[in-house]
């Protein structure tokens, strides 16, 4: 394990003003999103949409890395340059989704375990040779009646730790993503409890597996009320609860936390990040973002209408708004 390479890459991914673009939807998910805006899905339309985004002028000021799907990392820009080589030439680290999806957890109805450990070492070695320098693995934790179960917490924590150790062995910075879903009617306080539980279990497993924490990143949910909860936590409450939970349950030698947007509106995702970075406290880690739809929803709609330039402008705007939120400098007036 090259700990210096891992630490340097992790620091560059969350450098001042920067975050991560999550463009790693599976072929099925990306196809569904294209078809929802009236575009016939194919390998070429998926490539055309994504490479148009990657070619946006100036976004490297706000984006330190892009998470790719297996199909995309093997594709090329319009001029024939491979996608990872093109991103690297822009000063943006290529990343790769390496899990194979969340499947039903045996004997635990309604709960899932993320799979993909078989063959992971070989896949990571191939992706590193192709130019990838970081990876992502998403675990899914659902809150409901009697869940999450101890089995769901422990199996996902173990898988995340095994994944992280294998990635680091092969030179890839692991993004560790234990996502507590917003689905349900739970309170923000219940979300806090479950988030704390999965974080404790995950980092305990990482310690057991020998994961080098300064060479990893965490991609957690924010602490929020469930979508169906009659009492929704305010933006200020979300920011405070999230920071309190992370401060108590995340190692302070982790270089960065890159939040997922998890179904939030574009502006909510930016506002919450901005509030956290506006606090009169020195956080032990960089508080950043790893957003997909919260960066690209409008850009996709605009691209579908036939304007690549307008789509790039829409992405550039959202990226710049979140870049400002990295330093607490965003305001709603800047949304225009």
How do strand 256-259 and strand 217-218 relate by DSSP bridges?
parallel
Give catalytic status of residue 177 as yes or no: yes
Kindly give the residue spans of alpha helices, DSSP state H, lying in the chain.
Answer: 3-13, 27-36, 43-54, 70-73, 83-89, 120-129, 150-169, 188-209, 235-249, 266-277, 293-304, 308-325
Q: What would the two tokens of residue 251 be?
A: 């190692």
Q: Residue 60 catalytic?
A: no
Q: Please say whether the beta carbons of 303 and 49 come within 8 A.
A: yes
Distance (Å, whole) CA 92 – CA 78: 18
For residue 69, what are its two tokens? 């799907």
Strands 102-104 and 112-114: antiparallel
Instruction: Identify any residues that bridge with 35 across adjacent strands, giving them in sequence order.
Output: none
By C-alpha distance, which of 90, 76, 86, 10 is closest to 43?
76
CB atoms within 10 A of CB 150: 10
Catalytic residue among 18, 112, 136, 219: 219
Angle between helices 266-277 and 235-249 (to 10 degrees): 60
- Please list the residues that pair with 174 across neighbouring strands: 135
- Estimate the crossing angle of helix 293-304 against helix 43-54, to 10 degrees: 110
148 upstream amide cis, omega within 30 of 0: yes
Can you read off the two tokens belonging to residue 217? 């990143």
Calculate the alpha carbon distances from 31 to 25, 67, 137, 177, 211 in Å.
9, 17, 21, 23, 35
Q: Which of 12, 25, 111, 177 is catalytic?
A: 177
Active site residues: 177, 219
């Amino acid at each position: 394990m090259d700990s210096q390479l891992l630490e340097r890459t992790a620091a560059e991914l969350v450098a001042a003003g920067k975050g991560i673009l999550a463009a790693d939807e599976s072929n099925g998910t990306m196809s569904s999103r294209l078809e929802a805006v009236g575009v016939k899905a194919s390998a070429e339309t998926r490539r055309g949409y994504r490479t148009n985004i990657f070619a946006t002028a100036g976004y490297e000021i706000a984006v330190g890395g892009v998470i790719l799907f297996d199909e995309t990392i093997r594709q090329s820009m319009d001029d024939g340059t491979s996608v990872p080589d093109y991103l690297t030439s822009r000063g943006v680290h290529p990343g790769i989704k390496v899990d194979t999806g969340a499947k039903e957890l045996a004997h635990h109805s309604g709960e899932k375990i993320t799979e993909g450990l078989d063959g992971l070492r070989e896949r990571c070695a191939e992706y590193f040779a192709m130019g990838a320098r970081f990876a992502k693995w998403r675990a899914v934790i659902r809150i409901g009646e009697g869940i999450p179960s101890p089995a769901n917490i422990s199996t996902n924590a173990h898988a995340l730790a095994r994944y992280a150790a294998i990635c680091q062995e092969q030179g890839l910075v692991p993004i560790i993503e234990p996502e507590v879903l917003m689905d349900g009617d739970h309170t923000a306080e219940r979300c806090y409890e479950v988030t704390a539980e999965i974080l404790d279990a995950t980092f305990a497993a990482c310690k057991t597996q020998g994961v080098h924490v300064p060479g990893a990143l965490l991609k957690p949910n924010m602490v929020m009320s469930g979508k169906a909860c009659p009492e929704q936590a305010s933006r200020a409450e979300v920011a405070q609860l999230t920071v309190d939970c992370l401060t108590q349950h995340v190692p302070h030698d982790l270089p960065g936390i890159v939040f997922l947007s998890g179904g939030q509106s574009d502006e909510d995702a930016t506002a919450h990040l901005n509030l956290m970075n506006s606090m009169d406290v020195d956080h032990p880690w960089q508080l950043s973002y790893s957003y997909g739809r919260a960066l690209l929803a409008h850009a996709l709609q605009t691209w579908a209408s036939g304007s690549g330039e307008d789509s790039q402008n829409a992405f550039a705007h959202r990226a710049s708004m979140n870049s400002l939120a990295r330093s607490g400098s965003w305001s709603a007036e800047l949304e225009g």
